[in-house]
Every structure is written in structure tokens, then in C-alpha cells.
Structure 1
Amino acid sequence: MTIALDGHRAQPRLPGHWPAALSPEYLALIDVPTPYLVTDLDTLVSRYTRFSAALPGVSTFYAMKCNSTAEIVQTLHRHGAGFEVASIGELNALQALGVDPAEALYSNPIKPPAHVAAAHAAGLWRFGFDSPGELRKIAEYAPGSAVYLRLRVDDSTSVFPLSRKFGAELSGAYDLMLLARRLGLRPYGVTFHVGSQCANPSAWRQAIAAAGTLMRRLATAGIRLSMLNLGGGFPARYVSPVPSIEDIAGVIVGALDELLPYRPEVLAAEPGRHLVAETAVMATTVLGREVRAGENWLYVDVGAYNGLMETQQTVSGWRFPLWTSLPHHADEPCVPFTVTGPSCDSSDTMFYGVSLPDSLEVGDKLYIGSAGAYTLSYASAFNGFAPPTPLFVGEPGAGAR
């Protein structure tokens, strides 16, 4: 649903990089039951444009898994982005919105055979892999396709490391590419992933160095790669500062110039969180406020199971910028709260010791910023509580839907 509201002004002292279009005064005008997730498409366009400008010559393939709502996909498609899929379901969603499968990358290293066959039949021709078994699968179900190898790289400086599950060791990468050629596949490229929400620009430099080593060795076997895919991991701002995309891009560009034996025809990246996280605010209503063993508890109508699962996935918890509907929030005395969801599961608790106004009561709204990534895509209706309603503002010419 796209909504249009006028007459708002920016609320001062908002935390983080809160979209100016989604100030608390603006959100107060939205007459939709909570929970809802409202996305500013103008902010999305701005972030995509800034990402592209920072990495000239790098083609953007948006990671569908992060947030696949039609409005986001259509907006990015209109502005020239490609897409990265992890399943035939994601590819089918792109097709329904008019995206040519030939413009997509299928980067999931381990895929269901039926998905490979269906994607190939639809016209997708580039498949990621990291193992001999996956190569044989692709050769059988998508013969003649172009394949790109996912390298295992150091992702220890990211919030969500991914290398334990996926990635081929550099020591075996050369033989895998030769196997691809023997199987009648086209050794097309190399990719890596420095881990989700990576705040260390040097991680990309180290990964590019590994890719360069592989490219150099493959050249001795007559294999010249057409693509270097920088993967994802580009961070978004939540509460703590992160490097700017310009800072990260500076390291990447330097590494491309210094560490590769040649420049592949296609340079690609798969941002997800970086593009969409800061575009959206989750709105939720206070259902209850209690004191338990001297601790202030705030019960709200969205929880981990229907939108905030990332708060459960790190040892230290995942912090989001928070604000409330209280008109003088910035001047209110604050106390620490434990913020928990609506379900009967006691582990459905998202925030511990967060500072919020002491005057919060049942019926007040809690606004959760930087909520555009991995919220709707993770959400379920556990315990009968519905996922947040997606709302959209901005992107001139989109109209009301």
C-alpha cells in the first residue's frame, strides 16, 4: 500500500539516520493499525544512487532475500538495478514484475535441482557454486551455463559471518574451475561474501586479493574470467556508526587497481541491507507496561517472530534506533526498559536496557528505525499475531495503490 500525507516537518534529535520523511509527526498522521512498516522510496532511490556513484562501473544486483516487496523491487528496477536470487520463488517474483531472468544472478551456492532446471528454462544463465557436487548438478540441469565460484574469505569482522556454511577454499578453487570446464560449463567468474553488516573496509581488500590470486592462476590454464562479484555485506547505520559507502568504495577501487591481474568485463555487487535498512520505520503499539523484579518491561505488538528476528541472532543483541509517539520525547526523563513482543514465548524479547521515556503508557507508539532489512522477509504469524503491514511513501509518480 502506498500512502501520501502532507504537512509534516522533521522532528529534531532523532537517532541514527532516520528518514526525514518519516518523522514522528508524520507517522502520527498514518491511520493504519500497528504493526506496520513504512518505507520511504525516495530514500531508497537516494541510497541506490549514492552506492552506484561510489562504485562507478560496478553493476548492482540487489539481494532479493533482504526485502522483496514489489514496491522496492519495482523502484530499483526502474532505476537500473539488477537482482540476485536464492531460489526459483524469488526469480518467479521478479518475472511477475517484468524483470528478465537473464538479468539476474543465482548466487545461492547450493540449490535444489528443480530450481536450477526451472531457472535455466526461464533464461537465467549465471549460477553460483562452491563445490564439485553443485557443478555436476548445474551441468545436468542447466547444461552450458556460466558459473561463478564463491570463495571462502575472512568474514570475522562482520556481525553475521557466513563462511562456515558456504565458500570454497582458495587452495581448491583452481581445480573446481577446471572441473567446470570439463563438465561443459563456462567458468565465468568469482565471488565472495565478507559477512553481513561488515564494518571493516579492509575485508573487501583481502577478499579481492584472494580473487586476484585465483584469476592469475586460471590465466595459466587459458581461463580468463568475465566477472568479479564483490558480494554483499555493505553495512547500514543502526545505532553505532559504520564506514560510509565512499570509504568502503575507496578501499575496493584501490584493491581492484592493485591486486587483480586484469579487470573483468563485469564488476558486480550484491547489496541488500545497505540499500533498504535505513529507508523504513517499524511502528508498534504498547500493549502493556509492567515491573518485574525491579525491571521495567514494555510489551509491544511486534516481536521477533513477526518482524524482528535479527534481534535474536547475535550474542550481544541487535540494536535498532528507537523513538516514540510522545510529543516531547526528546525532553522526557528516561528509564531503562526491556522491550518484548506480543507472543507467549518468553524468548520473544528484542531489546534489553534501552532508554525510553518513563511516561510511556498503553496505547503509545514505539517507532523502530532502520527496519527495512530482514523484517518483512523473516516475519511470520506465530501465535496468531500478523506480520507488519507494508506501507510506502515517496517515489514521485508512483501514485496511490
Structure 2
Amino acid sequence: MTVAPITQPRPGPVLEMRAERIVAALQTFRDAFPGVRPYYATKCNTHAGVLRTLREAGCDFEVASTQEVEILAGIGVPGPEVIFSNPVRAREQTARAAAAGVDRFSVDSVEELHRLSVEAPGARVYARLATFGQDSVVPSEGKFGVDVTGAVRLLLEARERGLVPYGITFHMGSQSLAPSALRRPLQDVAHAMDRLRRAGVRLEMVDIGGGFPAAYDEPVPPLADFGRAAAAEIAALPYPVEVFAEPGRCLVAEAGTFRCRVIGVAERPSGWWAHTDLGVFHGLMEVLESGGELRYPIHDTRGTRLRRCYHLTGPTCDSQDTFARDVLLSADLHEGDELLIGSAGAYTSVYASRFNGFAPPRVVLI
């Protein structure tokens, strides 16, 4: 009898994405925002299995680059079904997107509007309003956006340049914890719509952006609270429009779990340290972006009742490569044990690099 050799699992961290949790999260979003059309923020997690799962569940897509347009085309999403919400693009990005059939673009400057009229003549334009995102865990606002007057001017000029004044968008800040963060931007949208109507322009769409939270190591407000805050202001808009949203994190974060390996344990004057084959530069960059405020739920598979606090750090030589502090894990944790890092499906694998030569994690869909 021939015995097949035992195959060892491939080394390195793995991000496991669970399809049923993605579909359930999409349904939760739809229930919380009735009448709002979700466009998944593709940049959040670009794994083909994740995108196909969302596509099959009837979700649309928002992109920030032509590379994402091409990724989506690979799973059968045509350009006309995509919205391009990055308001500043290299000229060749706009031209390539338009050639792929994309005809809805966000803008927040006259310069971008001028380029768009040349590279995508006749395109539908939606202006990006500025917000401040003070209540978001991962600050993301301040880089883009204009005030109400600026948005009105842009959309009126779009008409003059042969473009279609299509809508208005904003973003309340990533991992927002305040449903009220939707109210002021939507009130600004109402003012802009009213002024545009008096100038002979009637918009078709309002995009309430993304930033909706996922649960990490601490509870977050339910999406229904955000939905109610949005619904009250949407009902007060001057006239009916189609309403879009760009959920990302809240659809895929909780569907993902990193499995990584302990490669060394050490006691130092600063405490006990566990070194793993996964680090900040290989998927956990948001820990740095949030100043440590974003804390992932972390467990070990050893499961010993006696616990000890560990600082968790990645495999590189960089001292910033520490993704959690004072985490209670098994007191006898040692090399070869496995850690499970939950809520890891968003803004992780897409940030991964080969810094110090370490391979980024594999992504598998379950």
C-alpha cells in the first residue's frame, strides 16, 4: 500500500473571509437604510471572492481608481454600473475609466471639472461636500470637499461645460460612531439642491458616502441608528432623488479573521511580548492610522485558563510594527501557537506590503 506524504500547511498568515457573513451584513445595511442603494467601496477589500459574493447578492460598486474598474470588470461588473468617487484623478485615470464605460464622477475643484470635460465629455458629475469627521475612529476627512457655495458653482459650471449636474456626495469619516454625523451634511445637501433648483438645475442623486462602523473590540451604534438619522434628513430634501451610500467596512470587516502564528515570546522590562508572522505592514496598518484606537478582538488557540498580558508585534525590525498592547492571552503562549484576529476583513489585505521581505497574507473565501 502506498501512503501519501503528509502535506504541511503553507506558512504565513491567512485572512479567512466568510461569504455568509458578508451577505448577512449587506442585508443588515439594507434593512437599516430602506430605499438607499448600496455601492460597496471596492478599496476596502478587493479579493475576487468577496467582490463576487457582493455582486451575486445584488450590490453595486464604488471605485477610486481604474485598477479597481478593471478588477470589477474581471468579475463581470460593467463600467456603466460603477460610480467613481475619488474626486481628484490623474488625467489618464479619467480617460481609462471613461473608455471602460464609467460615466459618473465625483469632483471638488474647477481644475478637475475642466479635465473631466475633456477626458469624459458628457459625463454625469456629483460634487463632493466637505465634512469634518470629528467622531470617526480612523480620521479620513479634510483632504477633499467644498462648501455649499462651492458645490453649487461646480455643478452650474458642469452644465456650462457640457457635463450633466448629477448629484452631491459627502463622507462623514471612517468608522464613525455618531449617527448624528449624517445630519449636518444632509442639511447642506438640501441647501445646495434648493439653490440649484432656483438656477434651473434639478439633481438626480444624493450619495451619503461611507464610514459606517463595524464592531471591533468595543460595541458600536447599530446601523439602524444611522439609518434613522439619514432618513429624517432625506425626507426633508427639497424634492425626491435617488439616494446612494458607499458602505465598505460595515459589510466586510466582521466577515474576516486573520490566522497568524507566534514566532517568538520574550519577557522584557516593558512586559511580555509575543512576536507573530503578521504585523502592521502586512495588514494591520489601521492600528497606526487610528493612533491605536482601533483594537481588534484577539484570541489564541491554546486556550489556557491562566492568562497574561502581552504586547503583540509583527515580524519586521521596525519598532512601529506593534499592533496591540496589553492583550490577555494564555500565560503559557509559545512559538507555534496560533492567534485569531477578528473583524479583520476591511482595510487589511489591501494595505499589505512586502516590507522587510515578508510575504503579505493569503486571502481565502469560506
Aligned residue identity for 2:81: E
Choose which of 25, 30, 42 in structure 2 pairs with 1:64: 42
Partner of 2:290: 314
Moved more, 309-318 or 34-43: 309-318
Choose which of 45, 50, 68 in structure 1 pairs with 2:23: 45
Give the CA deviation at 1:294. Answer: 4.6
- Residue 170 to residue 163, structure 1, CA distance change in 2 (3 Å): farther
Choose which of 248, 267, 277 in structure 1 pairs with 2:243: 267
TM-score norm. by structure 2 comes to 0.96
Instruction: Decide whether the 8 Å contact of 1:60 with 1:268 is kept in 2.
Output: yes
Alpha-carbon distance in structure 1 between the residues aligned to 2:260 and 2:133: 34
Aligned residue identity for 1:323: H
Choose which of 330, 333, 345 in structure 2 pairs with 1:372: 345
Give the CA deviation at 1:160. Answer: 2.3
Moved more, 124-133 or 292-301: 292-301
Q: Deviations over 1:56-115 (max 9, x none)?
A: 221111001000100011111111111001011000111111111100000001001111
Partner of 1:388: 361
Give the CA deviation at 1:268. Answer: 0.4
Alpha-carbon distance in structure 1 between the residues aligned to 2:254 and 2:216: 8
Alpha-carbon distance in structure 2 between the residues aligned to 1:136 and 1:42: 44
Partner of 1:86: 64
Instruction: Decide whether the 8 Å contact of 1:317 with 1:351 is kept in 2.
Output: no
Aligned partner of residue 148 in structure 1, secondary structure: strand
Give the CA deviation at 1:311. Answer: 1.0
Instruction: Decide whether the 8 Å contact of 2:61 with 2:83 is kept in 1.
Output: yes
% same residue: 42
Aligned partner of residue 377 in structure 1, secondary structure: helix
Gaps of 5+ in 2: 1-7
Give the CA deviation at 1:32. Answer: 4.6
Give the CA deviation at 1:255. Answer: 1.5
Aligned residue identity for 2:239: Y
Matches within 5 A, 1:126-205: 126-205=104-183
Partner of 2:281: 305
Alpha-carbon distance in structure 2 between the residues aligned to 1:364 and 1:140: 57
Alpha-carbon distance in structure 2 between the residues aligned to 1:294 and 1:127: 50
Partner of 2:324: 351
- Residue 36 to residue 316, structure 1, CA distance change in 2 (3 Å): closer
Please tell me whether residue 287 in structure 1 is matched to residue 260 in structure 2: no
Please tell me whether residue 340 in structure 1 is matched to residue 313 in structure 2: yes
Instruction: Decide whether the 8 Å contact of 1:161 with 1:194 is kept in 2.
Output: no
Aligned residue identity for 1:293: P
Gaps of 5+ in 1: 1-29, 394-401
Partner of 1:209: 187
Alpha-carbon distance in structure 1 between the residues aligned to 2:154 and 2:362: 45
Q: Deviations over 1:31-75 (max 9, x none)?
A: 553300001100000111111122122111100100010001111
Moved more, 152-161 or 336-345: 152-161
Alpha-carbon distance in structure 2 between the residues aligned to 1:91 and 1:68: 11
Instruction: Decide whether the 8 Å contact of 2:286 with 2:347 is kept in 1.
Output: yes
Instruction: Decide whether the 8 Å contact of 1:37 with 1:391 is kept in 2.
Output: yes
Please tell me whether residue 76 in structure 1 is matched to residue 54 in structure 2: yes
Aligned residue identity for 1:88: T
Give the CA deviation at 1:320. Answer: 0.3
Aligned residue identity for 1:274: C
Choose which of 120, 123, 137 in structure 1 pairs with 2:101: 123
- Number of equivalenced pairs: 359
CA RMSD of superposed structures (Å): 1.3
Q: Deviations over 1:122-157 (max 9, x none)?
A: 111100010101100100100110000010023111
Partner of 1:22: none
